[in-house]
Amino acid sequence: MTVASDSPHRRTKRPNRLFKNWMAKVASLPMIMTALFVFVGGTAWTVTYSFTGSRMLPKTKWVGFDQYERLWETDRWIISIKNLAVYGGCSLVLTLVLGFSLAACLDRKIRFESAFRTIFLYPFALSFVVTGLVWQWILNPDFGLQSVVRGWGWESFTFNPLNDPETVIFGLLIAGLWQGTGLIMCIMLAGLRGIDEDIWKATRVDGIGTVKTYVVVIIPMMRPVFITALVLIASGIIKLYDLVVAQTGGGPGLSSEVPAKYVIEYMFRAQNLGQGFAASTMMLCSVVIILIPWAYLEFGGRKRG
């Protein structure tokens, strides 16, 4: 009702809409400019130069799709993509499951909750480089976990993921989960605390079990929290780089290479900007392919509704 009575009044003001809140708009100009020039401009520049034969210095020597052809013929790039897919899939599922389970456990009003929360969140305070190095040592067969367990008398115990090309990516995954789960747990916990007590009372009256209540009632109610967590996890996966550099250096051989490392090494070590740009453009494409349909469903749908 109020909307209807307001609208003629708004319509008369419409020509001035650009100047509405002009102070705020002027204040945000620098940020808008930065976003346009640095992000949009930088992205456009990168994509453009991925079609050139630039080596150490950017040059406009057009080579068409040569860089992309070479990229997709390179074993290292294919291995990188596969590794990221395995790491990403496992990391996404496990972080959400573990994060939510931990949060649900803490939400059961246990003792020393804040102590546990701190312990679980603590790894997140470390940089990936530290995490990588620590886990490189823990997983080292000569003085890490394996030797400790063998020292306890279990002589045949073998746990050496980092030196086996087949399992190295799971060694990275362990470190990644150790670091990342705590934050997701905290976000989930905040979400759980936002659930009205009455919901719990209602389910109890209806005689629904605790686990079922979580799965059927609480999780659907926490949709925004899950989306926040999903974006955080996904961006962490795509930019996976420092953990690999610190923990395995991409080895053994090429078996733990990731796309971001390919980009950096071809841009700077190989002094081949064109190839690095082509690889980073492909990374952008993969993000866009996932992001656009999701954003359309998430935001476009709501607007229509």
Partner 1 sequence: MSKIIKTLVAGTALTAASATIASAEGVELEVTHWWTSGGEAAAVSKFADAWNATGNTWVDGAIAGSGGTARPIIISRILGGDPMAATQLNHGRQAQELIEAGLLLDLTDVAEAGGWSDIVNPSSLLGACTLDGRIYCVPVNIHSAQWIWLSHDAYKNAGLDVPTNWHEFVASSGDLKAAGTLPLAMGQQGWQQNIAFGAVTLAVAGLDAWTEVNVNKNADVARGPEYTAAFEAVAASRALAAESNVQDWNQATNMVITGKAGAQIMGDWAQGEFAVAKAVEGQDYSCLPGLGLNAVLDTGGDAFYFPVNDDPEITAAQKELAALLISPEVQVSFNLAKGSLPVRGDIDMSAANGCMQKGLGILAEGGVLPSGDISFSQDTTLQIEDLMAQFWSSDMSATDAQAAYAKLIEDAD
Binding residues for partner 1, per CB under 8 A? Answer: 55-57, 74-76, 141-142, 160, 163, 165, 248-255, 265-266, 268-272, 275
Nearer to partner 1, 187 or 246 (CB): 246
| 75 Cβ contact list (under 8 Å, min separation 6) | 254
Nearer to partner 1, 14 or 269 (CB): 269
User: Which single residue is written with the structure tokens 């993969």?
Assistant: 286
23-to-15, 18, 35 alpha-carbon distances in Å: 17, 11, 19
The nearest distance, CB 247 to partner 1, in angstroms, is 10
Asked whether the CA dihedral 37, 38, 44, 49 is positive or negative, the reply is positive
Give the C-alpha separation, 125 to 234, whole Å.
19
Nearer to partner 1, 21 or 60 (CB): 60
Nearer to partner 1, 3 or 57 (CB): 57
224-to-27, 141, 269 alpha-carbon distances in Å: 29, 42, 42
**Surface-to-core class of residue 291, CB atoms within 10 Å of its CB (0-12 exposed, 13-18 middle, 19+ buried):** middle
The nearest distance, CB 228 to partner 1, in angstroms, is 35
Nearer to partner 1, 99 or 250 (CB): 250
Nearer to partner 1, 54 or 91 (CB): 54
- Output the six-digit token pair for 37: 């020039």
Residue 86 has a CB neighbour count (10 Å cut-off) of 14
The nearest distance, CB 37 to partner 1, in angstroms, is 18
The nearest distance, CB 272 to partner 1, in angstroms, is 4
Specify the 3-state DSSP secondary structure of 173: helix
Give the C-alpha separation, 287 to 259, whole Å.
13
* Half-sphere exposure at residue 263, Cβ-oriented, CA atoms within 13 angstroms: 19
**Surface-to-core class of residue 12, CB atoms within 10 Å of its CB (0-12 exposed, 13-18 middle, 19+ buried):** exposed
For the chain, give percent helix, strand, coil, nearest 5. Answer: 75, 0, 25
The nearest distance, CB 249 to partner 1, in angstroms, is 6
The nearest distance, CB 128 to partner 1, in angstroms, is 17
Q: How far is CA 215 from the centre of its chain?
A: 24
The nearest distance, CB 268 to partner 1, in angstroms, is 4
The nearest distance, CB 208 to partner 1, in angstroms, is 53
Nearer to partner 1, 55 or 239 (CB): 55
Nearer to partner 1, 52 or 255 (CB): 255
- Output the six-digit token pair for 248: 């395995």
Give the C-alpha separation, 135 to 174, whole Å.
8
